[in-house]
Amino acid sequence: MRRGFQPLERELHGARHPFERVIGAVLLVCGLLSIGTTIGIVGVLLFETAAFFRSVPISSFLGDSQWTPLFEDKHFGIWPLVAGTFLTTVIALAVAVPFGLLAAIYLSEIATMRARRILKPILEVLAGVPTVVYGYFALSFVTPLLQRVVPGLAGFNALSPGIVMGIMILPVIASLSEDAIFAVPASFREGAYALGGGKLPTIFRVVLPSAFSGIAAAVILGISRAVGETMIVAIAAGQQPRLTLDPRVPIETMTAYIVQVSLGDTPTGTIEYQTIFAVGTALFTMTLLLNLASFRLRQRVLKGGTH
Amino acid sequence: MTSAAQTAGPSADLTMKEKGALVERLFSLLSLLALFIPLVLLAVLFGDALRDALPRLDWNFLTGYPSRRPASAGILPALVGSAYLMLLTALMAIPLGVGAAIYLEEYARPNRLTQLIEINISNLAGVPSIIYGLLGLELFVRGFGLGRSLIAGAATLALLLLPMVIMASREALRTVPLSLREAGYALGADQWEVIRRVVLPMCLPGILTGIILSVARAIGETAPLITIGALTYVAFLPDSLKSPFTALPIQIFNWVSRPQAGFHVNASAGIVVLLALMLLLNGLAIFLRIRLQRRTS
C-alpha cells in the first residue's frame, strides 16, 4: 500500500481510462483469491465434518479411547491420533528448542557479523529439504542407529521421526529467536556490562528475558509446524493409532492417518472418507490457534521494539 | 564482539575471572556445536544416501518405468509428472500471485478489505500442506470433477504456493523507488503503464527469484499430492491435463514404504535426483539475485 500520493494519481488517471479500472478489478480478483482459499478450506472441512458428525456422535469422537474407523469394529475416538501427534511434537521440540536457541544465541551474540551472514542461510537449508527425504533418513538411518542404544525400539516408532522432525523445525525456531534476540537494543547489553555483568550473565539475565516474547513466538510456530508435519511421521512412525506416551512403539499421528486413508481408494460419502476431514478439522483448528498465538506475540514484539 | 577480558571488569578477582572466561568459552563452543551438529548430521545422511544411490544412478534409472524388480525400476513417469506439475503450477500461481502482489502494493487502499486480504495471506502461509490436499480433493478432484489428474494436482499446489509467491513478489515490488513511479507519471503515463514499463521490469529478477524458490519448494511437496490421490505406481507418461500422474516425491515415498532393501536403494537414488533438481533451481535463484544486486548497485 502506498499512502499519500495515490489519491491524486487516481484522480488524474483512474477516471480518464476505463482500461485502468479493468486492470484494477482484475488484480483485485487475484487478491480476493486468498480470501476464497480460506473460505474454501473452512467450508470443505466443515461440510464433510458435519456429515461425519451426523453418523458419529461427538461424544464418541471426544470420549472413545480407540480410533479404528478402517476396521470391522469401528471406534472413532480422536485421542490416540492426538496422542501420537503430541508425542512426536514433544520429541521434536526437545531437539529443536535447545539446539535452535543455542544456535540463535551463537548467531546473534557470539558470531561475527560476517559469520552470521554466511551461517544463517546455511541453517535455512535444513528447512528446505523435502520432508519425504527426512522421512527416508528417519526410517533407514536414524531408527537403526537408535535401535543399538535404545532397548525395545520398534522399527516404526515415535522417537526417530520426532528427532528428525526436530532437525527440520530447528531453523524456524533459530531464525525467529535470532531476530528477537538481535532486536534487543544494544543499550541493554551495555547497561549490563557497565554494571560489571559478564557475557553469560548478560545473555541469560538481560538479553534472553528481553527477547522472551519473540522466542515464545518462535517456539509456538515450531510447534505448529511439528503438528502439521506429515511425511516424516507417515513414513517412520508407523500406522497404528495407539493411546500411549511410549516413544518406542509404532503410533499414528493425525496427519499420518490422512495419508493412510488417501493411499487407499476410499469412495466419497463413506464414513472413512469423512473421517479424514474430521481429523483435518481438528488439525486445522490446532495449527490456526498456534499460528494466531505466535502472530500476536510477534506483533507485541514489534510494538515493544521501539525503544 | 567484546572479549572475556574486557567484560569481566578490572575489580574481579583473577581466579574468578579465569573461571568465568572458561565457562564462557565452553558456552561459546556449546552453542557453536548446536549450530553445526544438525548440519553435520544432515551432511552425513546425504553422503550415506549418495553412497547407496551411486550404483543405481544410471541412464536406465532416469529413463525407465517402475517395476516389481527394484533393479530394473526407473523414474521416468515420476520425472515427467514432476516437470508437468511444476510447469502447470507455475502457470497458475505466477499470474495470480504476482497480480495479487501488484494489487496490494500498487492499488490497494489502506482499508478493511486490504487488511482482510493481508491477514488471510499470512494465515494461509501457516496452514499445513496436507490441509491444502483435503481442499484439492474435495474441490478439484470431486467438486470440479477433474479426477485424480495432473491439473487437479497442479491447482492444489498452486493454491499452496500462492502465499509464498505473493510475499516474495511484494518484497520485490517494494524495492522499486517511489521516485521512479513519479517520474513515469510526470511523463504522462497511466498507473498501469508505469507498472508495466517501469516497475515490473525493474523488479523482475527479484520476482523471478522468489518464484523459483517457491517452485523448488513445490517439487518436494508430497502430502497434498497423496491426499488428492496421485498414483504411486504409474507405468505410463501423462498425456493430457486430465491424465492420472505420479511425481518424484510420491515415487520416493512408494519405494521407502516397501520392505525390500532393493527399493530403499531406489529411494535413495530418487532422493539424489530430487535434491539435485532442487539444488539446480536454488542455484538459479542465487544467480539471479547476484545479477540483480550488480545491476541495482
pLDDT tens column, B223-255: 999 999 887 777 778 888 888 888 999 999 999
* pLDDT at residue number B130: 96
Beta-bridge mates of residue A67: A76
Q: Confirm if A167 and A133 have CB atoms less than 8 A apart.
A: no
Q: How far apart are the first and last CA of chain A?
A: 26
Question: DSSP assignment, residue A123?
Answer: H
Flag if B99 and A17 touch (Cβ within 8 Å).
no
Residues in chain B with pLDDT values less than 50: 1-9, 297
* pLDDT at residue number B1: 43
Name the residue facing B139 among A2, A38, A44 (closest C-beta): A44
Whole-structure pTM value: 0.89
More confident residue, A48 or B16: A48
Q: Of A268, A237, A264, give the one whose Cα is nearest residue A253.
A: A237
CA distance A44 to A51: 11
Q: How far is CA A128 from the centre of its chain?
A: 14
For range A183-190, the mean pLDDT: 90
CA distance B121 to B143: 24
- pLDDT tens per residue, range B37-65: 989 988 998 998 899 888 888 888 888 88
Q: Sign of the CA dihedral B40, B46, B49, B53?
A: negative
Assembly ipTM: 0.90
How long is chain A?
Answer: 307
Q: Sign of the CA dihedral A293, A295, A298, A299?
A: negative
- Chain A: give the shortest CA distance to residue B217, in Å: 7
Q: Decide if A25 touches B, using CB distance below 8 A.
A: no
Flag if A99 and B34 touch (Cβ within 8 Å).
yes
Residues 6+ apart with CB under 8 A from A143: A153, A155, A156, A157, A160, A236
Residues 6+ apart with CB under 8 A from A107: A116, A119, A120, A123, A174, A178, B35
* pLDDT at residue number A306: 43
Q: Decide if A231 touches B, using CB distance below 8 A.
A: yes
Which residues of chain A neighbour B159 with C-beta distances below 8 Å? 37
More confident residue, A109 or A305: A109
Which residues of chain A neighbour B226 with C-beta distances below 8 Å? 259, 262-263
C-alpha cell at B242: 486430465
Q: How far is CA A116 from the centre of its chain?
A: 25
Q: Decide if A132 touches B, using CB distance below 8 A.
A: yes
Enumerate long-range contacts of B271-275, CB under 8 Å, 24 or more apart. Answer: B271/A132, B271/A133, B271/A136, B271/B49, B271/B53, B272/B49, B272/B50, B272/B53, B272/B57, B273/B57, B273/B62, B273/B75, B273/B79, B273/B248, B274/A130, B274/A133, B274/B219, B274/B220, B274/B248, B274/B249, B275/A129, B275/A130, B275/A133, B275/B46
Q: Read off the pLDDT band of A21 (50, 70, 90).
A: confident
Which residues of chain B neighbour A227 with C-beta distances below 8 Å? 128
Q: Decide if A151 touches B, using CB distance below 8 A.
A: no
Flag if A30 and B96 touch (Cβ within 8 Å).
yes
Q: Confirm if A172 and A221 have CB atoms less than 8 A apart.
A: yes
Q: Read off the pLDDT band of A4 (50, 70, 90).
A: very low
* pLDDT at residue number A201: 87
For an interface test with A, give the residue of B130, B175, B255, B290 to mutate (most A CBs within 10 A). Answer: B130
* pLDDT at residue number B293: 67
For range A128-154, the mean pLDDT: 92
* pLDDT at residue number A121: 84
Beta-bridge mates of residue B244: B149
Q: Which backbone phi and psi does A205 adopt, to 5 degrees?
A: -110, -15
Share the mean pLDDT of chain A: 88
pLDDT at A152 exceeding the cut of 60: yes
Flag if B253 and A132 touch (Cβ within 8 Å).
yes
For range A253-278, the mean pLDDT: 90
Percent of chain B with pLDDT over 90: 45
Which residues of chain A neighbour B232 with C-beta distances below 8 Å? 263
CA distance A211 to A304: 10
B222 to B27, B52, B282: CA distances (angstroms): 39, 22, 19
Which residues of chain B neighbour A200 with C-beta distances below 8 Å? 20, 23-24, 27
Which residues of chain A neighbour B256 with C-beta distances below 8 Å? 132, 135-136, 139-140, 235
* pLDDT at residue number B65: 85
Which residues of chain A neighbour B11 with C-beta distances below 8 Å? 196
For range A272-297, the mean pLDDT: 94
Residue A54 burial (CB < 10 Å; 0-12/13-18/19+)? Answer: exposed
- Chain B: give the shortest CA distance to residue A305, in Å: 21
Beta-bridge mates of residue A76: A67
Name the residue facing A27 among B34, B103, B138 (closest C-beta): B103
CA distance A172 to A118: 17
Q: Read off the pLDDT band of A231 (50, 70, 90).
A: very high
pLDDT at A173 exceeding the cut of 90: yes
